Amino acid sequence: MRVVAVPFEQLDARTAYDVWRLRQAVFVVEQECPYPDLDGRDTEPGTRHVLLQEGDVLLGYARVLDDGSTWRIGRVVLAADARGRGLADQLVRTALSVCPGRDVVLDAQSPLAGWYASFGFAVDGPEFVEDGIPHVPMRRRT
């Protein structure tokens, strides 16, 4: 098992395909949220792709965006057969390790707010619904 955070330029074609396939399988198909996953931010210079891999198999993923005054963590996802093993903790810890010197923000699905709180995040605004799923904005202060 390995977890790495890399810029877009370090994703080989197969890994990039696996990332987009996993995000589509979970967010678009499983959660039934048809949205433009390929939003143009994957290739930004400050973006880091957090990959959780076992051998050649991508089990999990998270994306860290450089939003200027803050870092933004999003697209946190595990393959269905990798859930329930604590692997998402490794994704978030690695994502946080590449977020120096600034607050980190994210929009958590509301049932996961307590889990994100275990990493130092606190709710930072009112609940909202995105793609039919309740979310809360959260912030981890430096």
- State the pairing for strand pair 2-6/133-140: unpaired
Please give the model's pTM, rounded to 2 decimal places: 0.92
Structure tokens at 13: 């074609």
Q: What is the mean pLDDT of the chain?
A: 94
* C-alpha to C-alpha distance for 61 and 84, rounded to whole angstroms: 15
Per-residue pLDDT tens digits for 26-49: 887 878 778 778 889 999 999 999
Per-residue pLDDT tens digits for 52-82: 999 999 999 999 999 999 999 999 999 989 9
Please compute Rg for the chain using Cα positions: 14
